[in-house]
Amino acid sequence: MKTRLNRYLSECGLASRRKAEEFIREARISVNGSIVIDLACTVDPDKDIIQFDGERIKPEKKVYFLLNKPKGYITSTDDEKGRKTVLDLIETRIKIFPVGRLDYDTTGVLLLTNDGDFTNFLTHPSHKIPREYKVSLHKPLDEEDRLKLIKGIILDRKKSRFIDISFTGKGERNKVMVTAVEGRNHFVKNMFSALGYFVDRLERTNYGGLDVKGIPVGSYRILSRQEIKKVYETYGK
């Protein structure tokens, strides 16, 4: 299947798409023995021979990690302030990146991969992939407010809603389970904040059917191809 040359170079782990475009402009990339300088060039990885400075480039093996993120880690590949990142918890030589973000103090399900297509699939709003969160609020959630959050409120000039909110503690209305299909930064915290609630604790317990049951906090496991295929089959309709 044909793909843009810069995208292919990025997926092989050579460089970012922008940097790959620089390599193309510098005439350092050849396809089937011919130098390519056209940024719109497409290639078929199954048929074409792509080289960088004369050495053949091969696709990097796709890897998928499911991390039970602890508090105190930045969801980023690096941090200018020198803080610990989630990559510090993963043992791999392959260049990977987080799928979406979890706040510094938020725990739970976090996926990391080098598969850009899978990342785009999970995060694209049109697929409406559910995320489940266990939330502790600073005060009991009023039933009227619970219904408002399900029906929808205006957040950042856009109507936003939770798919479901249920109470998890016996008689404790400050502990709830939330289901959302939105992936905006701080979405859960901002939704509650809009109605005057402060989130004391937030844990993502499920993302697209994947959970961290059996995975200790700070640990991870490698997802199988079958698990990735199931996500595509479930939400790619």
> What's the chain's Rg over C-alpha atoms?
21
Q: Are 45 and 38 in contact, with CB atoms under 8 Å apart?
A: no
Q: Which of 103, 145, 164, 211 is catalytic?
A: 103
Q: Are 85 and 78 in contact, with CB atoms under 8 Å apart?
A: yes
Distance in angstroms (rounded) separating the CA atoms of residues 30 and 47: 14
Q: Please enumerate, as own/partner, the contacts of 22-26 that have beta carbons within 8 Å and a separation of 24 or more.
A: 23/52
Closest CA to 104 of 73, 66, 136: 73
Active site residue 103: yes
Strands (E), the chain: 3-4, 29-31, 34-35, 42-43, 50-52, 55-56, 64-69, 97-98, 107-113, 131-137, 153-155, 158-160, 164-169, 172-180, 199-207, 220-222
Catalytic residues: 103
